Amino acid sequence: GNSVTQMEGPVTLSEEAFLTINCTYTATGYPSLFWYVQYPGEGLQLLLKATKADDKGSNKGFEATYRKETTSFHLEKGSVQVSDSAVYFCALSATSNTGKLIFGQGTTLQVKP
């Protein structure tokens, strides 16, 4: 079946450090891929998405490239800020587009000043 695996956290970085959160997936067909962010006390928000191979999603300085050959969608940011501290979820939506999402386990990021 379809699944998403994220690197385990927590990830602790100093401000302005480079961030990578790994995400790999297993799916049949051509899923859409997403990164969601959950700030403390808030609901999940869509951070970025990619709907086909080699697409790059980007938002707020974060980027992720849909790599079909490695079944990966790693999240990167060149210079993190304290305000980026949150839980990040990688997710996929299967080709059937019922809207159903399958989530990874989430990675907690803590950025220290």
Partner 1 sequence: GAVVSQHPSWVICKSGTSVKIECRSLDFQATTMFWYRQFPKQSLMLMATSNEGSKATYEQGVEKDKFLINHASLTLSTLTVTSAHPEDSSFYICSALGGRGSYNEQFFGPGTRLTVL
CB 83 within 8 A of CB 19: no
Q: Is 58 in the site for partner 1 (CB under 8 A)?
A: no
**Contact call for residue 95 and partner 1 (CB under 8 A):** no
| Number of other residues whose CB lies within 10 A of the CB of residue 36 | 21
Q: Which is nearer to partner 1, 69 or 97 (CB)?
A: 97
Whichever of 36 and 73 has its CB closer to partner 1, that residue is: 36
Return the structure tokens found at 106: 């989430």
Residues that bind partner 1 (CB under 8 A): 36, 41-46, 89, 97-106
